[in-house]
Amino acid sequence: MNSSFNKLLTFKILIIILMVSIFSTNFLFIERVDALSDSKQLVLDAWTLVNEGFYDPEKFDEIQWKRIRQKTLQKQIETSEEAYSAIEDMLRPLDDPYTRILRPKDYELLKSSNFGSEINGVGLQLGDDDDSNKIKVISTLGGSPAEEAGIVSGDFIDKVDGVSSEELGLANTASKLRGESGTKVLVEISSDSGDIREVDLERRSVDLRPVRTKRLRDDSHTIGYLRITQFSESVPKKVEEALQELKEKEVEGLILDLRNNSGGLVSSGIAVADSLLSERPVVETKNRNGIKDAIISQKETSFDGPMVTLVNKGTASASEILAGSLQDNDRSILMGEQTYGKGLIQSLKSLGEDSGIAITVASYLTPKGNNIQGQGMKPDKLLDLPDVSEYGSADDKWVRNAELFLDSLLEKEEVSTKTIELNNETV
């Protein structure tokens, strides 16, 4: 009996070992099947970054964001390019053109434009037009092939090398316009009036020269002119140096030119506001957790004299933050046209070894709580004047209008000062 019992026990143990072995093998097999390839891991990483950072999480419930992840990972994704296309499809329901995948070339070029002083391309800053769903020109860079071809803010990009921009989308349209110096790209442009034309643009290295300055003199006053074309990392320091140079030239007033400045690094725009505002609110941000306290400027300023700020429909994003802070704090009047109206802030994240993803993480409000997104900033004084080929030149009537306004302000200050002195003498 003991022998039979022992045999039965041994048999049961063998069965258990066999079952454990089978289940272990199956478990390992499941693990191996479920393990993600590098390409699918790229997709999952992109989903996770957006899930953790996107400024409007309520949108996730609306579009069934988790189900989108599941369906995307079920696709056949074997190459990096297939992963990028899958991520584009995954992000499309968010309906936010600024949350986008950046392929290696685009990622490198975007980093170069934010941190360097030149970029290869045609010199166009693009955005989505909410009314027409077309790709719209926000601004052209000074001295660029696009500017020389007569492309202006408000034009639409219909096709790039024969491919519809509607089919390409914002990110891919911008990508097709970039490339090596010396190569050409055929662009179909349309205007608000419906005129359509084709231009053959040769890509080249565009010197961004983000900060430019000069002194304007007339019979009675000396005015400083400061133009900022974009907000890259180096701009705050360059602005400090420019303001110091203008102070040494004893300028009495300042014209800040933000026309066709389509933005850049928000932190740089805020740092420039620091140079012009003393302990005043610069901007409020609204992220997924609500409205944060306003960012307050430092006490010391680099220039505290009277100002005029020039803006137009190509003034966008970080430049609107700066313009809004100056206007709401009564530090400077705005003169020109209604600004573009981009009030969303993106965070740039690395994805894999050489690609990236831009994620809209917040919207911003001016110190008085005005939402710029889709609305823009309204100038205190509208200017209906023709544009010029070179901003700040002798032919620039916008600058001349700003100069005349500053002259009148300075004359009023002089009269006020003389009146005070006269009253003091009387006393």
Rounded distance between C-alpha atoms, residue 19 and residue 6, angstroms: 20
Of residues 317, 319, 332, 363, which has the active-site annotation?
317
> Which of 127, 135, 184 has its CA nearest to residue 158?
135
Q: What is the C-alpha to C-alpha distance for residues 160 and 168, in angstroms, rounded to an integer?
A: 9
Q: At what angle do helices 80-91 and 65-73 cross, to 10 degrees?
A: 160
- Beta-carbon contacts of 207 under 8 Å, excluding residues fewer than 6 positions away, are 117, 118, 143
CA 37 – CA 75 distance, rounded (Å): 12
From the list 175, 328, 332, 355, the catalytic residue is 328
CB 306 within 8 A of CB 413: yes
Produce one character per residue of 102-128: b if its CB has 16 or more CB atoms within 10 Å, e if not.
bbeebbebbeebbeeeebbbbbbbbbe
328 classed as catalytic: yes
Tell me which of 342, 349, 363, 396 is the catalytic residue: 342
Integer CA distances (angstroms), 315 to 77, 268, 282, 318, 410, in order: 40, 15, 17, 9, 27
Give the tokens for residue 186: 């055929």
Q: At what angle do helices 165-177 and 104-115 cross, to 10 degrees?
A: 60
Q: 45: how many CB neighbours lie within 10 A of its CB?
A: 18
Judge whether 188 and 159 are in contact, CB under 8 Å: yes
Can 317 be counted among the known catalytic residues? yes
Type and span of the H or E element at 4: helix 2-34
Q: Which of 338, 344, 154, 331 is nearest to 263 (CA)?
A: 344
Query: Which residues are known to be catalytic?
Result: 317, 328, 342
